[in-house]
Amino acid sequence: DTGVSQDPRHKITKRGQNVTFRCDPISEHNRLYWYRQTLGQGPEFLTYFQNEAQLEKSRLLSDRFSAERPKGSFSTLEIQRTEQGDSAMYLCASSLGRKNMNTEAFFGQGTRLTVV
């Protein structure tokens, strides 16, 4: 499978615990994005990497959230001290971009987080 891969697909955690999600983008894609989608809503942008550099963060990304993309390959999204409001689908997307050129983004299957 050469699409965007996310792991785990589902995660149930107790409030206050830390969780970490992984995203493996399409291999030649240099841009990687994290989105959050709550029930009945469209995805909302969280953060964006170009290669290993985190270039943009949404104000939705509180200080309990941290994302990394070491070596510009896979990415991780960590949520510390989870709250019930963090329950959502976390989507990763990747695209190939160069200066003044953007291509469409392809999404992974998402990680569904439930905080109990």
In the complex, which residues of this chain contact other proteins (CB under 8 A)?
A: 4, 6, 31, 33, 40-45, 48, 55-56, 91, 93, 95, 97, 102-110, 112
Comparing CB distances to other proteins, the nearer of 33 and 115 is 33
> Minimum Å distance from CB 104 to other proteins?
5
> Minimum Å distance from CB 28 to other proteins?
16
Q: How far apart are CA 86 and CA 102, in angstroms?
A: 30
Comparing CB distances to other proteins, the nearer of 56 and 78 is 56
Report which residue type is found at 42.
G
Comparing CB distances to other proteins, the nearer of 80 and 87 is 87
- Tokens coding 13: 């955690």
Comparing CB distances to other proteins, the nearer of 91 and 115 is 91
> Minimum Å distance from CB 16 to other proteins?
26
> Minimum Å distance from CB 94 to other proteins?
9
